Structure 1
């Protein structure tokens, strides 16, 4: 079996590529970094190390790589592949749509009717569906009709913390022991081969929202609170009793919404929160606050990890004072090395606070959360150190 994976970064190598190789796929990474591409082609393997006390190391083999700009080669790989996965960041899905479309065209032209699954492993709700919408405009009507029969885009939820890192070996990557990859089973075509370690479910939304609004929300909240407190790493944030409590309170507020919406067992969800907090505090991982906090405009957008659970909780009448505080903290993220943070600050400075909340976050002025965010922002503003 052959898989083509877009993105040879830490997530691509340390999570998706590792799982595919362990499930006996030959993995062809489609990447941009010439050094990593060359090394993957030469060695056809790389090490991953678990962030545990034993520092267990595994060699991932049966891998190679090609440059994303070599679109004809990429298309040829896709034309004969059994699976396509991505870990490029949801904002970059549009950049890989055309080469995937060219591969689908070659595949359909050659009458390759073996099932092809294209799974976007991104921190986004409906990532594969978004990718499909980017790809289809590059296909002619006849190819689209064939693709509807033989190509599927199952949505997925993925979860593994892989911090930014540097090693003597450029291909080595350190990952946390925990991982979760959940795929929407009804979208799988007949004859598909299950990937070892993947959890296939009939209803994906509960798993996506549980992960997004617990792990992703909690992680970025720890970063924004930590940034205001002048801390450098997530581990430092989790070692601070008061800040760890703030993060827990936010996760319990989103948890109340998830329990109400999806019928999760309250005790089991509390244990899930405890597990996530333990992962954030892993003493063998060093994750920079500024890395986790990056791209605040995206994280404050209407359908992402802060505003979406807040609006849903509000619809259920669930009080969310700590999540509201977290959104205000995100709006105060002013790291000069983060392009989005600088845009955020410019928008607020030039347009005003209320228009930013209305236009960028999608929260109308008449909504109660709109005024709560302004109040908390004004309370936090001017206090570089969060107390």
Structure 2
């Protein structure tokens, strides 16, 4: 079986690529990094190292790579012949790969090929829906009806600890043993099938999406934004500060309280999930930057995303959201990374319009609400802390 996977970064090779390999697929990576394309084609394989097993090496073979920039014709042909198409390019980049994928699906349709599963394995709510819409909206002449006739588009929820590494002069990936790949089974080409081994298949993806986004991603983002204010540059340093760890746990528990009421999760099940998340963040020997964890603050402040989403719903369900409100305020202060376009945009907006308008614009929380005034108050408090620690 053949799989085409867009993105040969850490998630692409260390998570989705490994699962595709375990499921019997030969993989063609579509990747813009020329150095990585050359390495994969030279070796026809790559290595991953299992963090929880003493960094034991596992080799992923039967792989090739193509550049969508210089080899688009070849990429299109691979899509025509594929048995599975997946992505892990970062959610903000889905519109960038949409034209090439749309051309490939259009060619597949013209060739009389059957439907193929297309899964966007991105850290975003209803990720494959985003990709499908991006293809329908891109300049390629393919409409939604044609997309539906040639592809099936299950959304996914994804989670795994993966880190870039270099071993023996070659790019490799260090990976955690535990992972989560939840797939909408009712949208698969064969709804009762399990095409990717190790995945969890469900007819209610929403609750799994929110569990992961509102607990793990929320806690991670909260730690990054607060850690930034206290002068940390490495996320693991935040998790060496037990007072901040207690606050991260409390934030995740606020989201968990919401999910218990909303979906009927058992409280202990979510407490165990929180323990797993915090334990993973504390994994010895792992280093990750605050800038990477906290990147794209505008996207992460959106009404359906990891901070504002659970915060607003906690208010609706009568749950505590004290720390979630604090996290939103902290995210509004993450404006110092000049290499992050959303940091630059957020900083410019706050300077031009003021933080009150920024709260309304980027979170959707209205000025007449109690939450709005709490965020504004916390913003001013946290700005003072930032001035002390990041001089």
Q: TM-score, normalised by structure 2?
A: 0.94
| 1:243 equivalent in structure 2 | 244
Q: Report deviation, 1:383.
A: 1.4
Tell me, what secondary structure is at the counterpart of 1:304?
coil
Cα displacement string for residues 51-88 of structure 1 (whole angstroms, at most 9, x for unaligned residues): 23611110011110000122221111101101111101
CA–CA distance in structure 2, aligned partners of residues 150 and 337 of structure 1: 41
| 2:214 equivalent in structure 1 | 213
| 2:228 equivalent in structure 1 | 227
- Aligned residue pair count: 384
| 2:156 equivalent in structure 1 | 156
Cα displacement string for residues 148-196 of structure 1 (whole angstroms, at most 9, x for unaligned residues): 2441100000001224555553431112222110100000123855211
| 1:327-366 matches, cutoff 5 A | 327-339=328-340, 340-366=342-368
CA–CA distance in structure 1, aligned partners of residues 348 and 141 of structure 2: 42
Farther off after superposition, 49-58 or 377-386: 377-386
| 1:312 equivalent in structure 2 | 313
Contact between 1:49 and 1:56, CA under 8 Å: does it hold in 2?
yes
| 1:74 equivalent in structure 2 | 75
CA–CA distance in structure 1, aligned partners of residues 177 and 330 of structure 2: 30
Cα displacement string for residues 349-373 of structure 1 (whole angstroms, at most 9, x for unaligned residues): 2100111011122111112211110
Contact between 1:228 and 1:329, CA under 8 Å: does it hold in 2?
yes
CA–CA distance in structure 2, aligned partners of residues 13 and 34 of structure 1: 15
Q: Report deviation, 1:334.
A: 3.3
Does residue 54 (structure 1) correspond to residue 59 (structure 2)? The answer is no
CA–CA distance in structure 1, aligned partners of residues 222 and 146 of structure 2: 44
Does residue 105 (structure 1) correspond to residue 102 (structure 2)? The answer is no
Contact between 1:117 and 1:151, CA under 8 Å: does it hold in 2?
yes
Tell me, what secondary structure is at the counterpart of 2:384?
coil
Q: TM-score, normalised by structure 1?
A: 0.95
Q: Which runs of 5+ in 2 are unaligned?
A: none
Q: Which runs of 5+ in 1 are unaligned?
A: none
**What is the RMSD of the two structures over their aligned residues, measured on CA atoms?**
1.8
Tell me, what secondary structure is at the counterpart of 1:171?
strand
CA–CA distance in structure 1, aligned partners of residues 194 and 277 of structure 2: 30
Q: Report deviation, 1:135.
A: 1.2
Q: 1:140 to 1:323 in 2, by over 3 A?
A: same
| 1:120 equivalent in structure 2 | 120
1:382 maps to which of 375, 381, 384: 384
Cα displacement string for residues 109-166 of structure 1 (whole angstroms, at most 9, x for unaligned residues): 11112x301100011111101111111245657x754542441100000001224555
Contact between 2:51 and 2:176, CA under 8 Å: does it hold in 1?
yes
Q: Report deviation, 1:338.
A: 3.7
Q: Report deviation, 1:39.
A: 1.0
Q: Report deviation, 1:341.
A: 2.0
